[in-house]
Amino acid sequence: MTTTYETLKGRSVAAVRDAIRNGCYSSHTAGLGAGMLQANLAIMPTSHALDFMRFCQRNPKPCPLSGVSDTGNPMMFTLGEDIDIRTDVPLYNIYRDGRLDATVTDITEFWRDDFVAFALGCSFTFENALQQAGIRLWHIDNNTTVPMFRSGIDTVPAGPFSGKMVVSMRMVPEERVTQAAEISRKYPLAHGAPVHWGDPAEIGIDDLSRPDWGDPAPIQDGHVPVFWACGVTPQVAIENAGLPICITHKPGAMLITDVSEFAEIPNYQNNTIFKGE
């Protein structure tokens, strides 16, 4: 039975992941799982995993590494007690030779014993804090996916991985931009503070009405476009790397973890996740 976004808002993380795992929900996760870290996803053969980890290490702003699976093990035990990376993301993109080949809701049939899964923190994580501060977010209010753009900002290459940084954009009231920056700065695993605000042309974006991913958002009077580094950046790097196969989340459809939104790094003990204070 299909579950709606409005039904899942305010539900527990376990309830949201259960709906996703059972194929009842396959859309964006902005505004869901409040208080918990959301994560982007990249899954690839172990032959390319070390280079990708280097790419994340060299580009921590768009690629804040929050979890790595054991080779061949789809259970992301460092991010939660029962997270199966094959089923617990609403939508997956499958890339072959650097090109998007398919979008699916379950990757069980594609899983391989040599796969390594990487989880990278997502800016959806700090949106709850912005809302609690009274900063409205148009995409959440209107049940759409945040707009994302290919910027002109270079990343630092690693092996075959390279490309421009992807950024997500939110319109923020002019008088509250500094506050939004300070709030998001407290979330280093969710890209932290913005990389830019104001004129989008300064970071190589020509038209805010035509995002590369997500849905367009209106240019509101008295508001300023604010840009955060985005975890879709690895998908650009994966396209450029041309890997025979690689699996990611569909932009906007994230993994919701059991890690507190305030965590700087996950804490582990006896394979049990501890929520931050």
Look at 51-65, 76-90, 125-139, 263-277 and tell me which has the smallest mean pLDDT.
263-277
CB 164 within 8 A of CB 152: yes
pLDDT for 267: 47
Quote the tokens at residue 12: 């527990």
225 and 242, same domain (yes or no):
no
DSSP letter for each residue of the chain: ----HHHHTT--HHHHHHHHHTTS--S--TTSSTTEEEEEEEEEEHHHHHHHHHHHHH-TTT--EEEEPPTT--B-TTT-SS-BTTTSSS-EEEEETTEEEEEES--GGG--TTEEEEEEE-THHHHHHHHHTT---HHHHTT-PPPEEEEEEEPPPBTTB--EEEEEEEEEEGGGHHHHHHHHHT-GGGT-S-SEES-GGGGT---TTS-SBS------TTEEEEEEE-TTHHHHHHHHHT-S-EEEEPTT-PEEEEEETT-SS--EETTEE----
107 and 148, same domain (yes or no):
no
187 and 56, same domain (yes or no):
no
CB 17 within 8 A of CB 126: no
Average pLDDT over residues 147-172: 96
Query: To 5 degrees, how large is the angle CA 263–CA 140–CA 38?
Result: 25
Average pLDDT over residues 248-276: 66
pTM above 0.85, yes or no: yes
Residue % of the chain over a pLDDT of 90: 77
Q: What is the CA radius of gyration of the chain?
A: 17
Q: Provide the domain limits for residue 119.
A: 5-123+238-262
Indicate if the pLDDT at residue 103 is higher than 60: yes
CA distance readout (Å), 241 to 142, 172, 210, 247, 249:
35, 35, 25, 13, 17
190 and 254, same domain (yes or no):
no
Residue 274 lies in a domain: no
For residues 177 and 182, what is the distance between their CA atoms, to the nearest angstrom? 9
Count Cβ atoms below 10 Å from residue 186 Cβ, excluding itself: 14
pLDDT for 125: 81
12 and 93, same domain (yes or no):
yes
Q: In CATH, what number is assigned to the domain containing residue 141? A: 3.30.2040.10
- Is residue 223 very low, low, confident or very high in pLDDT (cuts 50, 70, 90)? very high
Average predicted confidence (pLDDT) for the chain: 91
Residue 29 lies in a domain: yes
51 and 176, same domain (yes or no):
no
242 and 118, same domain (yes or no):
yes
pLDDT tens string 182-208: 999 998 888 999 999 999 999 999 999
39 and 174, same domain (yes or no):
no
- Is residue 122 very low, low, confident or very high in pLDDT (cuts 50, 70, 90)? confident
Count Cβ atoms below 10 Å from residue 222 Cβ, excluding itself: 8
CB 260 within 8 A of CB 221: no
Residue 175 lies in a domain: yes
